[in-house]
Amino acid sequence: MLVIKSILLLCSAAVVLARTNIQAVVSDAIFVGENTVDDSASPLEIFSDSKNHAEVVSSVLVFSADRANFQPASQPAKSLALNLREFIEKASTFPGFIMERSEQESLPLNGSLTQFEKVVREAGIAQPHQALVARSLRDMIPGYIVNEDVDEWKLSLIVIDKPKGADVAYVNFVRVDVSIDADKTGTTFIPEQAAGVSSVVIRTNLSYLVEYAEKLSSLIPITNVRDALVFFASPKVESDPADSNETSCHKNPLAFVNQGQRSLYNWKNGN
């Protein structure tokens, strides 16, 4: 039921963005809130103790990205456009996550970067961090485009949030679909347009993570938040893939005996 709800919310959030044929993606990730992760915690403790659940989020995100072949730090922007949707669907349907809400807004742009940041902030997406999110999205706009045939872009920002005093962690997938043009020198500018912004917010399911901590810790390699932020940061300018250390995802055979474990098995294997 959670999987069906997640997919429906993802689809509804995509409606406002369906106006364009996305050709390229710029990805980035930020962390907000309180860092309560115990750096000495074992993989089992990462999943079983809520203070470490920001690291559960970062680990599941990188695991899902690897499975979807979504590698922002090492792939060109055009390649990312092919696999972004699969990555988000994979991550958002992890049984240890619960869908919170989805939002979408139109962005009337007049061509100014300052105005772009202002209207994103005023759209109210990603509260209470809308100012930081708006600035992050502005900074993601490429300053130079090598390929003149690419003008329809998606800015994909992941916000990992561990609110102070909370026993849950959140991930917010914020996406902006926007047309970006370039002059004869390749320098970019935003033409006047009606762009779109969407947000899908997911939180950790504490009871599930604690109950299945042992299985999860044997299935999902741990990626700390700092490394995840690096993993999801793509260059602004299209280039050839750079060498990088990819996080490996082991395909260990698992035997599941109940519904919760079966859901995890299906998620792992893409069923």
User: Does the structure show a pLDDT above 50 at 7?
Assistant: no
Query: Per-residue confidence at 194, pLDDT binned at 50, 70, 90?
Result: very high
For residue 85, with 0-12 CB atoms within 10 Å meaning exposed, 13-18 middle and 19 or more buried, which class applies? middle
> pLDDT tens, 44-62?
999 999 999 999 999 999 9
d(CA 157, CA 136): 8
Cis peptide leading into 128, omega within 30 of 0?
Answer: yes
Identify the H or E element spanning 247.
none
User: Does the structure show a pLDDT above 70 at 246?
Assistant: no
Between 124 and 154, name the one with better pLDDT. Answer: 154
User: Does the structure show a pLDDT above 50 at 249?
Assistant: no
User: Does the structure show a pLDDT above 50 at 37?
Assistant: yes
Between 265 and 83, name the one with better pLDDT. Answer: 83
For residue 260, with 0-12 CB atoms within 10 Å meaning exposed, 13-18 middle and 19 or more buried, which class applies? middle
How crowded is residue 40: how many other Cβ atoms within 10 Å of its Cβ?
6
Between 20-24, 163-167, 205-209, the lowest mean confidence (pLDDT) is in: 20-24
User: Does the structure show a pLDDT above 50 at 127?
Assistant: yes
